[in-house]
Structure 1
Amino acid sequence: MELRQIQYFIEVAKREHVTDAANVMHVAQSAVSRQVFNLEKELGVELFIREGRNVKLTPIGRVFLEHMKEAMQVIDNAKREVEEFLDPERGTIRIGFPSSLANYTLPTVISAFRDRYPQVKFKLVQGTYYYLKDAVVSGEIDIAVLGPVPKEEKKLKSEVLFQERFVALLPANHPLSGNRSISLSQLREDQFVLFPHGFVLRDIVINACKQNGFQPEVSFEGHDIDAIKGLVSAGLGVTLIPEITLIDNRPRSTVKVPVTEPEVTRSVGVVIPKERELLPTEKLFYEFLKDFYSMLGGFSK
């Protein structure tokens, strides 16, 4: 079994089309077909069901694909580790983050890190809270910055970097927009703009409202922070979001109002795998990240 065969097999499985896979890999279609055929012959099983120009994995093909993806990850990590062993300040860091940390938190620390280590490269992956936790466990990424910080995870090591508070974002014409602060219960009659089900920021807001005696009416949903802010700006509802997401980025026709009764907060931190070592460059960034926020005194928001 050759490395090239595995690479071609994975690409064909991803595209479900031999020609498309060949185009992506910049090789002849016949070369891809021949390598996949030789792989099937060596294994003694059919990995694909042929349907004209399209292909689909057989049941055993799906099992084989998962193992080969893991094998390629091990090979890629080994190559990176050798490269980074020679020079950790020129390696690549794979890091995941949710949209709520995309505009200020992560760019701030990456910018500071690159001032010190300008040759380091980053592979950034944006995703939901639960996807990012799974991605660290599976090895798709090695570091994720998350809020809230997960606790007592068997396969994850967590480190809290700082606490941040949530604020109310209201349309400028809202009756409470002129208040210096509000209690959460004052929004019980409002329509809310929140993330969809399955997003942890939605859960934080819903739980805070329930603890104050009401179930918020969700009128609209947005899949990222900017979408939610835009819906509030259009006057379609109110929301609670981390205050840090409004630094240098509060939409017009909206007002930020602190929520003091109760104060809604979340922890923000970093997670890494428990069951494997970080590569040298990633370890360099991980330690820098902890020191960075430690020097800022927790950067409490």
Structure 2
Amino acid sequence: MLEFKQLTYFKEVAKHKSVTKAAEEIHISQPALSKSIKSLEEELGTPLIIRSNKTTDLTDAGKTVLEYTREITNLVDEMKLTVSDLTNLSVGQLNIGLPPFIGSLFFPEVMKKFHHNYPNIKLDITEYGGARVVKSVEEGEFELGVAVLPLDERVFNVYPIVKEKMKLVVHKNHPLVSQNEVHVKDLRDEEFIFYHEDFALNQIIRNHFFHVAGFEPKILFKSMQWDLMSELVAANLGVTILPESICNRLFTKDIKIIDLEPTIMWKLAVITKKGKYISNAGRKFIDFILTDSL
């Protein structure tokens, strides 16, 4: 008989693309996990994974089972949340996806205040790049996430929390340093310290700034850390574009911060998937962050 535990184990193997890594993550032995997956395959009458020495890929049947498994586990999680809310409104657990840029800027103080107000609600925070946060909220891995707008509001409920300008950051000896404002067309020949593809800002700035001006930026380095990006600029290795609140934290004398034309806005929002049940803990967090000043 097919068991729910088998599906959750299979989901972990698919996530990590490795029986060994999945076994370590869920704290069971590799032989026990392999036996569970084999039993599931026998129950369904078809192989679900392609086994090799380096990685574990899914068969076509495995990909179909994974989609159903996600739906089933999401429904079970939703059931648990609903029952928990009905029986005990003072406790709960909230899974949040948070991009590293955003987390380091705004959320330590927010989390501190929220925990003070709701000490029995556990916050389980995972740091992903913005694009992955959005995907994970859509797939049900996180109940809510923090993401960069714009997003498809047919898929997500969007609760805006931050809106600020993006700024150009250059070395103090850069030819543009004397200007108070720089137009995008003047950046055509610059070498950029840019965002990793996991960050929503990678595509947002490309599509709504560079491509509109008719060119593809020359990217020298990509990073997931704003402090490294600014340090590379300070070392005169290129220019970058950062949110104003991050620029306000840059204390090196080797850089200059300049306004951009046209203006690029950095807009952040808490997001949840439309049609998905939001727990009492989730609703409390959304209400709290919308009323608390970031």
Task: Report the 3-state secondary structure (helix = DSSP H, G, I; strand = E; otherwise coil) of the residue aligned with 1:272.
Answer: strand
Letter in 2 for 1:183: V
CA RMSD of aligned residues (A): 3.4
Letter in 1 for 2:168: A
Q: CA deviation at 1:235?
A: 0.9
Question: Which residue number in structure 2 is paired with residue 165 of structure 1?
Answer: 165
Task: Please say if 1:92 is aligned against 2:87.
Answer: no
Q: CA deviation at 1:139?
A: 1.1
Q: Aligned residues, how many? A: 290
Rg comparison, structure with higher value: 1
Q: CA deviation at 1:281?
A: 0.3
* Structure 1 pair 277–184 and aligned structure 2 pair: CA distance change class (3 A): same
* Structure 1 pair 120–149 and aligned structure 2 pair: CA distance change class (3 A): farther
Letter in 2 for 1:269: A
Task: Please say if 1:195 is aligned against 2:167.
Answer: no
Q: How does 1:68-87 map to 2 (within 5 A)?
A: 68-87=69-88
Residues 77-116 of structure 1 show CA distances to partners (whole Å, capped at 9, x for unaligned) of 3224433443344322222233331221233322222221
**Does the 8 A contact of 1:92 with 1:123 survive in 2?**
yes
Residues 168-221 of structure 1 show CA distances to partners (whole Å, capped at 9, x for unaligned) of 212233345466x3333695354332225675424444443566x674742423
Moved more, 74-83 or 183-192: 183-192
Question: Which residue number in structure 1 is paired with residue 284 of structure 2?
Answer: 284
Q: How does 1:257-272 map to 2 (within 5 A)?
A: 257-259=257-259, 261-272=261-272
Residue segments in structure 2 that go unaligned for 5+ positions in a row: none
Moved more, 33-42 or 267-276: 33-42
Task: Report the 3-state secondary structure (helix = DSSP H, G, I; strand = E; otherwise coil) of the residue aligned with 1:173.
Answer: coil
Letter in 2 for 1:60: A
Moved more, 191-200 or 59-68: 191-200
CA distance in 1, matches of 2:197, 2:41: 42
Moved more, 213-222 or 153-162: 213-222
CA distance in 1, matches of 2:29, 2:203: 50
**Does the 8 A contact of 1:229 with 1:251 survive in 2?**
no
Moved more, 232-241 or 101-110: 101-110
Q: CA deviation at 1:167?
A: 1.7
TM-score, scaled to structure 2:
0.79
Q: CA deviation at 1:284?
A: 0.7
CA distance in 2, matches of 1:168, 1:22: 46
Task: Please say if 1:226 is aligned against 2:227.
Answer: yes
Residue segments in structure 1 that go unaligned for 5+ positions in a row: 294-298
Q: CA deviation at 1:64?
A: 1.8
Question: Which residue number in structure 2 is paired with residue 183 of structure 1?
Answer: 182
TM-score, scaled to structure 1:
0.78
CA distance in 2, matches of 1:46, 1:8: 15
Q: CA deviation at 1:140?
A: 1.5
Q: CA deviation at 1:133?
A: 2.4
Task: Please say if 1:208 is aligned against 2:209.
Answer: yes
Task: Report the 3-state secondary structure (helix = DSSP H, G, I; strand = E; otherwise coil) of the residue aligned with 2:104.
Answer: coil
CA distance in 2, matches of 1:203, 1:13: 27
**Does the 8 A contact of 1:169 with 1:254 survive in 2?**
no
CA distance in 2, matches of 1:282, 1:40: 36
Q: CA deviation at 1:282?
A: 0.6
**Does the 8 A contact of 2:97 with 2:128 survive in 1?**
yes
Task: Report the 3-state secondary structure (helix = DSSP H, G, I; strand = E; otherwise coil) of the residue aligned with 1:102.
Answer: helix
CA distance in 2, matches of 1:56, 1:15: 10
* Structure 1 pair 219–80 and aligned structure 2 pair: CA distance change class (3 A): same
Question: Which residue number in structure 2 is paired with residue 243 of structure 1?
Answer: 244
**Does the 8 A contact of 2:184 with 2:209 survive in 1?**
no
Question: Which residue number in structure 2 is paired with residue 123 of structure 1?
Answer: 124
Indicate the percent of aligned positions where both proteins have the same amino acid. Answer: 26
Letter in 2 for 1:166: M
* Structure 1 pair 13–268 and aligned structure 2 pair: CA distance change class (3 A): closer
* Structure 1 pair 256–144 and aligned structure 2 pair: CA distance change class (3 A): farther
